[in-house]
Structure 1
Amino acid sequence: MSAWRFDAIGTSWEVVTPEIRAEDSGRRATLPDGERRAILGVIDDFDRTWSRFRADSLVTALAARPQEVPAPQDAAAMLELYRDLSAATAGAVQPLVGDSLAARGYDAGYSFDDRGARPAVADWTGALSWDDGALALRTPALIDVGALGKGRLVDIVHGLLGSFGHATRVVDAGGDLRVSGPPVRVALEHPYDPARAIGVATIQDEALCASATNRRAWPGAHGGLHHVLDARTGEPVRTITATWAIAPEAMLADAAATALFFEGGSAFAERHGVEWLRMTTDGRLEGAAGSRVEVFA
């Protein structure tokens, strides 16, 4: 197997495929240049549409001037799942949380300057709509698809590799991964000690996504801030520190991993057939992990 590693959308990627014999020299090589360019192209297209960190993105333009635009390719799939997430968590997870994150310092410039809690637009489905091929934002607000967007992009890259004929492949974007082919064992990183694992998951032809409050954390109010905010209050979650979710697709696993920080998250996961595990801030493990996960004593 060959691994291609690169950085994109603020995280490290690894694409693993069977080795390919280069025609010019007979040596073993990773993905051909054309396939690499295609993968980087779809990542850039997604980022140019959905990144609130880019001045040239669609969501940045919409925040500055709310309007109706042709719906991007991924809008319906992501926003329909957001609707489900929002209902399951009583509004704690929703896509207009971008201004809340920016107010706490997780802004386009990564200032980490906490300007206080800012609740997101409560009636987000009234402010944001997607139908008849259009995406419309009716009030100034910053869309953030972080609850499931990276998983969606993992699925896109995974599908593109399949279209190139790679039946066996692993796509890993900062720990959110999707696998096709033989089983893969994945260590579940301990949120309080990255050198340790709390267990191992074995996945095959499915996805595993994780989230933890020690990732993208910075000094701030109440002893520290992180990227998992309750959209209703603009405050960071304080009871759950890490989540893991296994699902057929990475977008669903990513969404479940986010939902599991909140009341209603476990019901969301179980309703969608997602195996899950989470750790509370006092170190207890909860979950419905099934046979795929071996938790260390």
Structure 2
Amino acid sequence: MNSPGTVHDWVFDAIGTRWTVTTPSPLSRPVLDEVRAEIDRIDLAWSRFRDDSTVAEMARAAGRYPIEESDQPLVDWYRRLYSLTRGAVSPLVGQTLADAGYDADYSLRPAPQVSGVPAWDEVIAGHDGTLELREAALLDVGAAGKGFAADRVAEIVARVTDDFVVDAGGDMVVSPRTRPLRVALEHPMDPTKAIGVVTLDGGAICASASNRRVWADWHHIVDPRTASPVREVLATWVIAPSAMEADGLATALFFTPAAFLRGDFDHHAQGFHHVTIRRNGSVEHTAIPGLELFL
């Protein structure tokens, strides 16, 4: 039996990041197996870094590809983000990233010419239950996919305990709690330091930063409208009810002002909570409970 206040961390690597699932006591083997199976299922469906994924099939041929019922919210969320950002957050950025060197082999060698990003309606004819592609296309769901996976893991863990934290490489889902959890905000230029702290009494927090994957003159946050990396914003954090939402909005803030985005959300009076750090050193944030900035 665990002593009061003790916790257990299950740490593992999956979909390119380190996961930590924190619970009051160890999770049972069936729960561990279910979590791993769900992450593997998501990876097999949506990874552009493996030849046997559904996304790889889509890159080879146009056609109709069934969407799992559990994954429909991810596809719907991408369509919504695409509209909210006027095309800046798009799943069709995959070939651009691959040409730039962020490819399945992680070559990190940009091609002489980088492909532009097609418009949604040019390629995707429908996305309700089935993804209908008019032409082959390499999709990338990195803007919200990790948050989506964290939500799915949290759903599984929540069936066996009401006290947990799911941390997928910094994208976190926190169970409701009376004693808020303090979360550090990683410094965008030095991962050994924090630029601040927030407190969470439940929900999700996700971050996006241009320093995470950097090579040549590129990083992984690319504006589909220009087929080039975004330069003005260094890092963002978003607090929202789900990690999928927080993850997608954290990316959207690289392209679209928060004031424009938040009118579409009613989570609370401010729409959603966020912190944005720009390259010029300016910081924008909402009135996040427990926010401390060390800048």
1:18 corresponds to which residue? 24
Within the candidate set 226, 243, 247, 1:250 is matched to 243
2:196 corresponds to which residue? 199
SS for the counterpart of 1:77 is helix
SS for the counterpart of 2:289 is helix
The letter of the residue matching 2:222 is L
Contact conserved, 1:259 with 1:266, CA < 8 A, in 2?
no
Deviation at 1:249, TM superposition (A): 0.6
Contact conserved, 1:256 with 1:274, CA < 8 A, in 2?
no
2:131 corresponds to which residue? 135
**Alpha-carbon spacing, 1:154–1:249, altered in 2? closer, same or farther (3 Å):** same
2:289 corresponds to which residue? 291
1:170 corresponds to which residue? 165
1:260 corresponds to which residue? 253
1:37 is aligned to 2:33? yes
1:25 corresponds to which residue? none
Deviation at 1:292, TM superposition (A): 4.0
Q: Distance in 1 between matches of 2:18 and 2:62?
A: 32
2:208 corresponds to which residue? 211
Within the candidate set 278, 281, 294, 1:280 is matched to 278
2:146 corresponds to which residue? 150
Deviation at 1:159, TM superposition (A): 0.5
**Alpha-carbon spacing, 1:132–1:252, altered in 2? closer, same or farther (3 Å):** closer
Q: Distance in 2 between matches of 1:201 and 1:125?
A: 39
The letter of the residue matching 1:43 is I
Percent of pairs with identical residues? 44
Q: Distance in 2 between matches of 1:196 and 1:172?
A: 18
Deviation at 1:8, TM superposition (A): 0.2
Task: Give structure 1 stretches of 5+ with no counterpart.
Answer: 20-29
* 141-150 or 125-134, which deviates more: 125-134
Deviation at 1:125, TM superposition (A): 3.1
Deviation at 1:288, TM superposition (A): 1.8
1:117 corresponds to which residue? 114
Deviation at 1:132, TM superposition (A): 5.2
SS for the counterpart of 2:36 is helix
1:8 is aligned to 2:3? no
Within the candidate set 206, 213, 227, 1:234 is matched to 227
SS for the counterpart of 1:291 is coil
**Alpha-carbon spacing, 1:237–1:289, altered in 2? closer, same or farther (3 Å):** farther
Deviation at 1:88, TM superposition (A): 2.0
Q: Distance in 2 between matches of 1:8 and 1:169?
A: 19
SS for the counterpart of 2:225 is coil
Q: Distance in 1 between matches of 2:48 and 2:128?
A: 24
Deviation at 1:196, TM superposition (A): 1.6
Contact conserved, 1:179 with 1:207, CA < 8 A, in 2?
yes
The letter of the residue matching 2:171 is D
The letter of the residue matching 1:10 is G
Structure 1 outlier segments of 4+, above 6 Å:
none
Q: Distance in 2 between matches of 1:89 and 1:131?
A: 19
Contact conserved, 2:10 with 2:20, CA < 8 A, in 1?
yes
Contact conserved, 1:85 with 1:268, CA < 8 A, in 2?
no
TM (norm. structure 2) is 0.91
SS for the counterpart of 1:252 is helix
1:102 corresponds to which residue? 98
Deviation at 1:75, TM superposition (A): 4.1
Q: Distance in 2 between matches of 1:204 and 1:127?
A: 41
Contact conserved, 1:150 with 1:251, CA < 8 A, in 2?
yes
1:190 corresponds to which residue? 187
1:22 corresponds to which residue? none
Q: Distance in 2 between matches of 1:114 and 1:92?
A: 21
SS for the counterpart of 1:290 is coil
Q: Distance in 2 between matches of 1:135 and 1:279?
A: 36
Contact conserved, 2:125 with 2:133, CA < 8 A, in 1?
yes
* 199-208 or 132-141, which deviates more: 132-141
Deviation at 1:228, TM superposition (A): 0.2
* 131-140 or 35-44, which deviates more: 131-140
